Structure 1
Amino acid sequence: MTEFGTLNWTILIVYILANLLLGFVISKKVSTADDFYLGQKQTPWWAIGISVIATYVSAMTFLGAPAWAYKDGLSVIAIHLNYPLVIIAVITFFFPFFYNAGVASIYEYQEKRFGKKARGLVSGIWLISQTMSSAAVLYATSLVLSFITGIPVVTAIIIVTVIALIYTVMGGITAVIWTDVIQSGILFIGAGIIMYALIENMDTSVMDTLAILKEQGKTNPLNFDLDFTNVTTVWSGVLAMSLYHITVYGTNQMMVQRTLAAKNIGDAKKSYLLMGFLAFFVYFFFIIMGILFYSYYQGKPFENENTIILEFAADYGMPGLMGIIAAAVMAASMSSLDSAFNSLSTVSTIDFYKKYFKPDETEVHYLNVSRIFTVIWAAIIIFPAILYHLHSTGSILEVLSKVGSYFVGAQLGMFGLGFFSKHASERGLLVGTFVGVIAVAYTALYTDVAWPWYAAIGATINVVVTIIASIAIDGKQENYSPYTVKGQIQAFADGNKATKENGWYLVPGKVDKVCYALFAFFIFTLIFLFSFEQFI
């Protein structure tokens, strides 16, 4: 590893200072707790959409996707085929509930539908899962900074946390969104330079290289094997991971909160539609990069696969490139960390502090408490990040996805029952959720079932056990709750309310026209991938 150098340090420091300055400027507009959680509902939809993409792409994709594809080939793309289906489901069923309720924490819905215990349970599950996920992002970034600059990983973990914390505490969700916009630009500039340099330095053309990789079995994107122990099959990607990602985009406060800062439900839906149409291309780009690295390095093993892209950048030797890469990875990471800090603080303040301890304080009081919780969660996340550093060597993207899969079944089951079940009660839900979590833990520890199926297993068992327990404990319900899909449809009909706002449905279960185009795009991606290998 060459010395980082003055130019690279200058690029990295200027990037850090720019983020802090932006946070300071935006902080001038934050005077209430709602400003901190939701901004002033004036953020344009395209900025929110870019923020959504930047948050989920993160350093996990920048480092982990090439590392994963280096090992498993183009079949990794199967895990990311489902975004169009996921976005259709989320904007059709989830968004109307959250917007009609006018909530800042999406877990308020659980209390309206079931009760306080259900709200506390789902909030608690999310706090744990988001802490572990954010710690993985923090570790990945710190690994990069350590590799590039020579700073010890643990020191880098603390530095990255402090930087993301400062501008998040100052500017709240608005600072999160606008810094994400800038960070996504830096991320893709860095990735573009790496891809250009990789293609330029290969001994053969891209098409010839892909032909060789095809002979080595690295370019098959669609594996239709009915093997539940294989992570990267079409079935795990389209079926199991659809449920996983519906939970990520529909029941995750970190992802949904920024859409609640949109001007109206139409803007919120458009911000997610941007992800639906662009996610495939983003992941395909990084996964193609991974298999090209496999050719470039002739499949040699790496001590830590996540450093492949970094070692290449160091060997390439372009002046300032390592500074750009360091800034790009910090950008990718902080776009996730800032979102996590803000949303963890929001849930802690609204779902616990305000709910159970201080329900009648001023907005300024809750703003101050939210900032305190932001600092607390930033400090907490440091510890699991250090544990990842001590025990993780595989693709950090796969590690993150696997950790998340332990919890998403419980969350998905709780919201699915809330939306569609007539008989589910709070006491039955508590029983079903507990049994579902135990079932996932057993599956993970004692079977060879691949982790993408954990969400489906957890959600299915949760739903079945909850309905049985609800009927046994509380009996059958005569009517649908007003907070189910059927209940909402009936409420709109009885109240003679407008079902659309600026052409976008307010009623859960009603499909907006653009969703049909998104489904057609999903079919296009399947055809494209099938054709890709055929014509290499």
Structure 2
Amino acid sequence: METIDWIVLAGTLLFIVVYGVWKTKGRNNVEDYVGGGRDSKWWTIGLSVMATQASAITFLSTPGQAFHDGMGFVQFYFGLPLAMIIICLVFVPIYHRLKVYTAYEFLEDRFDLKTRSLAAILFLIQRGLAAGITIFAPSIILSAVLGWDLRTLNVIIGVLVIAYTVSGGTKAVSVTQKQQMFIIMTGMFIAFFFILGYLPADVTFSKALKIAGASEKLNILDFSFDTKSRYTFWSGITGGLFLALAYFGTDQSQVQRYLSGKSVRESQLGLIFNGMLKIPMQFFILLVGVMVFVFYQYNPAPLNFNPSATKIVMESEYAEDYKLLQDEQIELEVEKKMAQNKFSAALELKEYIAIDEAKQQIITINKRDSTNRVAAKALISQADKNTETNDKDYVFIHFILNNLPKGLIGLLLAVILSAAMSSTASELNALGTITALDLYKRNKKEEASEKHYVQASKFFTLVWGIIAILIANVANLFDNLIQLVNIIGSIFYGNVLGIFLLAFFIKYVKGNSVFMAAIITQIIVFIGFYFDWMSYLWLNAFGCALVMLIAILLEGFDRMLKTSNIDS
């Protein structure tokens, strides 16, 4: 990195922190600090909701996901627009009518304190883990490619977020996320157009898409009914729907964003805005990854994009074996480029037999490329079994650091860190609020002032910030970071969503039945995940249906016992 990159990076991050602190100073009551003054406009809510969901993991992992597996991951979001409509019609009016600060206040009103506390604790567990991962994700990748100290990066990101989140609460999170989303999308569009500019002169965007299609990177829809397959149309509109309902409807990090709305209408418009733009945004980010794939059809790419993994294997007894793979990869890249040129020329001449032949050649080369990469991962694992071999999360950052001009590298790194800050800020804000209001305040016997609870919220936000940094320092990569966050959410979200749906629609079910059903369900979901009964997306629907069924059965059994006791 050059001096200009450091200036752009540091200037962008400091501006966000200083702006957040300055814009929200002097918020000393619960309404202002936790509720954000309840004066947010719909566009602020919409951008804040999007920024909360779009963490650094989104901008690091998603392009790498598309590079390796194509556009199919977009199916994960197919249930989101329908979820936004349901939340607007059911969740938002109830929350606003009750004037709650947290989603879980409603559960006590409908059931009892222990059910409210259980749901809050389930949220704290999964969101606390996720907060650590959203810090850890950019830290481990930046440390690997830039040589920065991992723990130092975790602390820097954590401290920057804690500074304005503790100071300004919900409003600080909302106002800074508008700037962060602007920086993020500006950086991604710039990267996209630079990628297109780096392609050969005769490769237009249209031709680039055909090249990607020849390598099966544009297979967007999968209508198979295989529940073990992670991303299908059906898992997206069912499992994805339940995940989105749980996340946006019951996760305080999102609920707190739209509870700050000036009115029910503003909150609803903000969510609809998010529902309309989320799939196109994710589609675009995946498309960036596909264009990076096309770029590397004409340019050298490492066997493994994680530089620290390459360094480890090259310093081991397997170095010679790895060099042989690298030499083979160099020859393969020459063949790959020739095959792409042949395919491109056939497209120009519209010779369909030649197009099909070139396409088959490309598929064969891609299989050999995949075999080489698998062999490289095996050698890395043999050199050090603790080294992360999955390099999906390193693809995009490798392109940024090795191909973008000075200044833009700093901007794209600012994009990644801004995304980490925006998502982590929402999580810490929600964690502090839930701990202060749902656990501390609700179980505190003595009366206390508004200022006391604001100070308590700030204290718990600080504590959760420190916990998130500690989690980041002990976390390990797991397959793909964006999947890890969604897996953690899916283990808990279905259960919590089922509790809320029981509260909304099954009026005769009481608190004791729901409480026991939630505990039983969570145990079963843990077992199901451990033994891999189904793809993690299906756990959302499974957990939701299971807790509702068990609660209804327990309530029926309880009523039957009471009736038999009366008769006797």
Tell me the TM-score normalized by structure 1: 0.85
Partner of 1:410: 495
Q: RMSD between aligned alpha carbons? A: 1.8
* 1:33 lines up with 2:30 in the alignment: yes
2:311 aligns with none
Structure 1, 180-189 or 430-439: larger mean CA deviation: 430-439
Question: In the alignment, is the contact (CA less than 8 A) between 2:60 and 2:394 conserved in 1?
Answer: yes
Offset of 1:148 from its aligned partner? 5.8
Distance 2:533 2:539 in 1: 11
Q: Following TM superposition, by how much is the alpha carbon of 1:386 offset from its aligned partner in structure 2, in angstroms?
A: 2.4
Aligned ranges for residues 236-247 of structure 1 at < 5 Å?
236-247=235-246
Please tell me the residue identity of whatever aligns with 1:190. Answer: G
Mark the CA change 1:336 to 1:475 in structure 2 (over 3 Å): closer, same or farther: farther
Post-superposition shift, 1:144?
A: 4.4
Query: Where does residue 534 of structure 1 map in the other structure?
Result: none
Tell me by how many angstroms 1:359 deviates: 4.9
1:313 alignment partner, one of 388, 396, 400:
400
1:101 aligns with 2:98: yes
Deviation by residue 1:395-426 (Cα, 9 ceiling, x = unmatched): 21111111111101111110011111133111
Q: Map 1:263-342 onto structure 2 (within 5 A).
A: 263-298=262-297, 301-303=304-306, 304-342=391-429
**Deviation of 1:294 (Å):** 2.3
Asked if the contact 1:439–1:461 (Cα under 8 Å) also holds between the matched residues in 2, the reply is no
Q: Residue 53 of structure 1: CA displacement?
A: 0.7
Once residues 44 and 471 of structure 1 are traced to their aligned partners in structure 2, the CA distance between those partners, rounded to angstroms, is 45
Task: Give 3-state SS (helix, strand or coil) of 1:31's partner.
Answer: coil
Task: Answer yes or no: is the 8 Å Cα contact 2:67–2:293 preserved in 1.
Answer: yes
Query: Deviations for 1:60-110, whole angstroms, at most 9, x for unmatched residues?
Result: 211111122222211111101222101001111111111110010110010
Q: Offset at 1:462? A: 0.8
Cα offset, 1:174, TM superposition: 0.8
**AA aligned opposite 2:537:** P
Q: Deviations over 1:287-324 (max 9, x none)?
A: 11122222322485434221211111111141111210
Q: Partner residue of 2:505?
A: 420
Written as runs of structure 1 = structure 2, the 5 A alignment for 1:338-487 is: 338-357=425-444, 359-388=446-475, 391-392=476-477, 394-474=479-559
Q: Indicate yes or no: 2:75 matched with 1:75.
A: no
Q: CA deviation at 1:32?
A: 1.1
> C-alpha distance in 2, partners of 1:327/1:358?
46
> Which residue does the alignment assign to 1:64?
61
1:492-515 per-residue CA deviation (whole Å, 9 max, x = no partner) reads xxxxxxxxxxxxxxxxxxxxxxxx
- Could you tell me which runs of 5 or more consecutive residues in structure 2 were left unpaired when the two chains were aligned: 307-390, 564-568
Q: Percent identity?
A: 28
Asked if structure 2 preserves the Cα contact closer than 8 Å seen for 1:96 and 1:265, the reply is yes
Contact 2:80 2:240 in 1 (8 A): no
d(CA) in 2 for partners of 1:317, 1:277: 31
SS at 2:38 equivalent? coil
Is 2:11 aligned against 1:14?
Answer: yes
Counterpart CA distance in 1 for 2:105 and 2:527 is: 30
Match of 1:512?
none
Distance 1:285 1:35 in 2: 36
- Aligned equivalents of 1:17 and 1:24: distance in 2? 11
Q: What amino acid does structure 2 have at the position aligned with 1:213?
A: A
- Residue type matched to 2:166 in 1? V
Q: How many angstroms does 1:47 deviate by?
A: 1.1
Shift of 1:38: 1.1
Rg (Cα) greater in structure: 2
Distance 1:329 1:70, change over 3 A: same
Judged with a 3 Å threshold, the aligned counterparts in structure 2 of structure 1 residues 412 and 27 are, in CA distance, closer, same or farther, namely same
The corresponding residue for 2:233 is 234
SS in 1 for 2:37: coil
Please tell me whether the aligned partners of residues 525 and 539 of structure 2 are also in contact (alpha carbons under 8 angstroms). Answer: yes
1:503 corresponding residue in structure 2:
none
Kept in 1, the 8 Å contact 2:194–2:404? The answer is no
Deviations along 1:136-168, whole A, 9 cap, x unmatched? 211112134425653211210111000000011
- Report if the CA contact (8 A) 1:68-1:398 is conserved: no
Query: How many residue pairs align between the two structures?
Result: 473
Alpha-carbon spacing, 1:18–1:477, altered in 2? closer, same or farther (3 Å): farther
Partner of 2:343: none
Asked whether 1:192 is paired with 2:189, we answer yes
1:449 counterpart SS class = coil
Could you tell me which residue of structure 2 aligns to residue 90 of structure 1? Answer: 87
- Equivalent-residue separation in structure 2 for 1:190 and 1:413 (angstroms): 39
Q: Which residue of 2 aligns with 1:262?
A: 261
Which AA in structure 2 matches 1:229? K
* 1:416 maps to amino acid: L
Contact 1:148 1:326 in 2 (8 A): no
